[in-house]
Amino acid sequence: MYRATVLVIDDDENVCDILKTSLIEAGYQVDAVLEPEIALKKFNEQQYDAVIVDLVLPKIMGIDLLAKFKEINPDTSVILVTAHPAIDTARLAVQLEAFDYISKPFELREIISKVKKAIDKTKGLREKREYGRTLEAKLIENLKDIEFQSQALKIEQERFYGIFKSASFGLMVLNGLDRRIILINDLCKKLVGVSHLSEQECFDKDYHHLIPQEISGQMDLLIHKLKEEHECVKAGPMKIGKDSMLEFHIYPVMSDGIMIAIAVMINDVTERKHLEKQLLMASKLAGIGELAAGIAHEINNPIGFVKSNMGTLNEYVEDITKLINMYHTLMSSTESGADTTEMIKSIKAFEKSIEACFLLEDIGKIVNENQDGLVRVTKIVNDLRTFTRVDEDKKGRVNINKVIRESLNLTRNECKYKANVKMELSEVPEVFGFSNQLGQVLIILIINAVQAIEKEGEIAVRSFQEGNSILVEVSDNGKGIDNETIEQIFDPFFTTKSSGEGTGLGLSIAQDIITKHHGKITVQSKVGIGTTFRIELPILPKPKEAVKT
């Protein structure tokens, strides 16, 4: 157990002894010295909790000793003892922060009580100082921490700035309140056509003054929308300038419910759109591939009879030309008054041999039949042209029933040998989108339905309205799809058909197109019973996002 230490300095040996004995009895560890030098030495070596010093000592005044003690260890409480109390000394003692002042002769009880208080005071001061030191240490540590953090923050900031600068998309950050530019990266400057300006020159500027009107106008619209919805808004891809396609995403940066900044992300999708267009074309060609056999059949039939009829017609014309030449000869002979009896006989015989009456009648029929055949071929080619058109495909109001009829028309030959097609079309409102693309989806679904039928079956195409959606269903009573296969049918290049027969792109293209129209395509099937594909299209487009080209 710790015992408090007390140093006693008195040149009177008796006083020293008495004090020492009493203090030891009181439970303290006591050093009692006669000489001030020894006292100082001890005080230097050891930390005392209290000191009792006689004010009048042989070589040095107690008051000077007090000053030295305070210098060495200011926390230690010092009690002065004197036989000659004087005001000046008392004042000095107070100035030097002596703990207390005792007059000789003193009572031991008084001394012990004061020593106890002095020790408490010393401890209190030491604790305070200790606490101060801890605080200081902590403070230093915190300061170091803060310095480290600010260093890390700086690195982080530089890192983000680096990412921001070198991002592969255009990025501009606007002040949430006044919409002035806070940050803009190089790519963004390039995309909006202000490459010549430095970042500094753009800083704190109103974007309307820097950016071409066709882009800033778009941003105005989006920011207006952003203010209402407080979530990412998107626009595009839209044509900007000569041949760039840009896509805009605008995000709010929120803090405590306040939009403190607006992040504008601009993507150059020119290349992507170009590829998408090529892919769309390729997928259409893939679709045509599937149609090709049926269409070839549809074209080969009329070409077959038209071509053969032309050959026949040529022979007819040869015969008739011969006949007309004979008539000419007859005419000249009649004019010259020659005998024409024989000539008329041979003409009649020739007419009979070539069946002239039949020929004349049949020519009319041939012309009619050939016209019919050519009209059919023209129609097929026109239908195909509608199907393959990419550039002229414009977004607009689409009468889905019309699209259904056209698609059934184009797939008529696929259907007619295997399936009885039922159309159950209700009057439905128009949808917004690309009629050719929707037609493509229907053709894909119809061909799939036909192919699901092994021998003979039924296909039903329905349209009806349900809430805010238009539903189109294509059902067949063919072989159905098992559970394992149904999981994969929308995957690109997944096919159950043999190679050459199917590309595996049909349904993935269909899904892609319907998604772009903000719709859904789903399937329900039972093996041996049949399959129904259902397309759900919104009557009105979502205002937030434009349908892509």
Partner 1 sequence: MNEQVVLLIDDEKNVINSLKRLLRREPYKLVAATRPEKAFSILDRLKVSLVITNHRMEGINGDEIISRVQQKSPGVKCIILTGYTGDPKHSSRAWKVMSKPWNDTEIKETIREALEINTKTNALGITTNSEDI
Where does this chain bind partner 1 (CB under 8 A)?
A: 293, 296-309, 311-312, 362, 365-366, 369, 372-373, 416-417, 456
Closer CB to partner 1, residue 208 or residue 416? 416
Closer CB to partner 1, residue 267 or residue 309? 309
Max intra-chain CA distance, the chain: 194
Q: Is residue 223 within 8 Å of residue 249, measured between CB atoms? A: no
Closer CB to partner 1, residue 41 or residue 307? 307
Give least dist CB 412 to partner 1, A: 12
Closer CB to partner 1, residue 136 or residue 372? 372
Closer CB to partner 1, residue 3 or residue 416? 416
Give least dist CB 304 to partner 1, A: 4
The CA-atom distances, in angstroms, between 45 and each of 41, 72, 229, 363, 422 are 6, 10, 76, 141, 113
- For the four alpha carbons of 280, 286, 287 and 289, in that order, the dihedral sign comes to positive
| DSSP H/E element including 407 | helix 400-410
Closer CB to partner 1, residue 18 or residue 323? 323
End-to-end CA distance of the chain: 89
The CA-atom distances, in angstroms, between 91 and each of 10, 71, 100 are 21, 18, 12
Q: Is residue 518 within 8 Å of residue 542, measured between CB atoms? A: yes
Give least dist CB 313 to partner 1, A: 9
The two beta strands, 170-175 and 181-184, are: antiparallel
Instruction: Tell me which DSSP letter residue 492 carries.
Output: T
- The string of DSSP codes covering 29-66 is EEEEES-HHHHHHHHHHS--SEEEEESB-SSSBHHHHH
Quick one: how far is CA 547 from the chain centroid? 18
Closer CB to partner 1, residue 214 or residue 456? 456
Give least dist CB 375 to partner 1, A: 12
Quick one: how far is CA 454 from the chain centroid? 45
- Residue 336 DSSP SS3: coil
Give least dist CB 285 to partner 1, A: 17
Whole-number Å distance between alpha carbons of 398 and 429? 9
Closer CB to partner 1, residue 319 or residue 393? 319
- The string of DSSP codes covering 339-391 is --HHHHHHHHHHHHHHTHHHHHHHHHHHHHHHHHHHHHHHHHHHHHHHHH--T
- The string of DSSP codes covering 205-219 is -BHHHHS-HHHHHHH
Give least dist CB 449 to partner 1, A: 17
Tell me the two tokens of residue 145.
């921490």
Closer CB to partner 1, residue 377 or residue 547? 377
Give least dist CB 308 to partner 1, A: 4
Please report, as a single letter, which amino acid is at residue 232: C
SS3 content of the chain, % helix, strand, coil (to 5): 55, 20, 25
Whole-number Å distance between alpha carbons of 512 and 42? 94
Residue 90: CB atoms within 10 Å:
15
Closer CB to partner 1, residue 260 or residue 375? 375
Closer CB to partner 1, residue 305 or residue 464? 305
Give least dist CB 405 to partner 1, A: 21
Nearby residues of 34 by Cβ (< 8 Å), 6 or more positions away: 9, 10, 11, 13, 16
Gyration radius from the chain CA atoms: 54
Give least dist CB 418 to partner 1, A: 9
Give least dist CB 492 to partner 1, A: 25
Give least dist CB 316 to partner 1, A: 9
Quick one: how far is CA 347 from the chain centroid? 89
Give least dist CB 469 to partner 1, A: 36
Whole-number Å distance between alpha carbons of 160 and 164? 6
- Cis peptide before 237, with omega less than 30 degrees from 0? yes
Closer CB to partner 1, residue 57 or residue 446? 446
Give least dist CB 413 to partner 1, A: 9
Closer CB to partner 1, residue 94 or residue 293? 293
